[in-house]
Amino acid sequence: MKKKIRIFVLILIASIFGFLGFKINSKLSHKKEVTARTKTIPSFSFSDTKGNIYSNKNLPNKSVIFIYFNSGCDYCQSEAIKIQERLKDFKEVQLVFVSFEEQEGIIAFAKQYNLHNKENVVFLEDKQGVFSQIFDVNSIPYIVVYDKDKNFLQKFKGATKIDSILAVLK
């Protein structure tokens, strides 16, 4: 009887290690896919606040910062305040705010933080959650920074200091 219990325990332990190994390998593989997919700005197509299609082809020839946000998120609100206060520091950068919310909520957010109708700021509606799939978003705000050649520089999860974002662009 003790021999059967030992065999069962060994099989159980081997199964657990096998499962954990599989999960770790899957996660690493997924991270490699995301890294490869986002090495340069991937193709995208979302609606802007006027209902027009805005895609990667509309991006100007300058550095780009994507900010995935939700208007009800305290950290996103704080980030918007900080960006608005230092908007002059982003004059050579295209700021692209993306949200899965309805246009009305996005527009209200843009107006509340005085970021609407700014030359280098665009707000986009991602109805299908494509942005979060492309970039494997697991928190908000989620900030992704690209240089003027559209090459990935860095991503930030959660509240981020403006100086940290600007330092990546230098």
The whole domain housing 12 covers 1-37
Residues 159 and 98 in one domain: yes
Residues 27 and 54 in one domain: no
Residues 96 and 112 in one domain: yes
Give the pLDDT band (50/70/90) at residue 134: confident
- Higher pLDDT pick, 20 / 83: 83
pTM score of the predicted model? 0.81
Cα angle for residues 21, 23, 28 (degrees, 5° grid) = 95
Residues 16 and 57 in one domain: no
Rounded to a whole number, what is the distance in angstroms from the first to the last CA of the chain?
A: 69
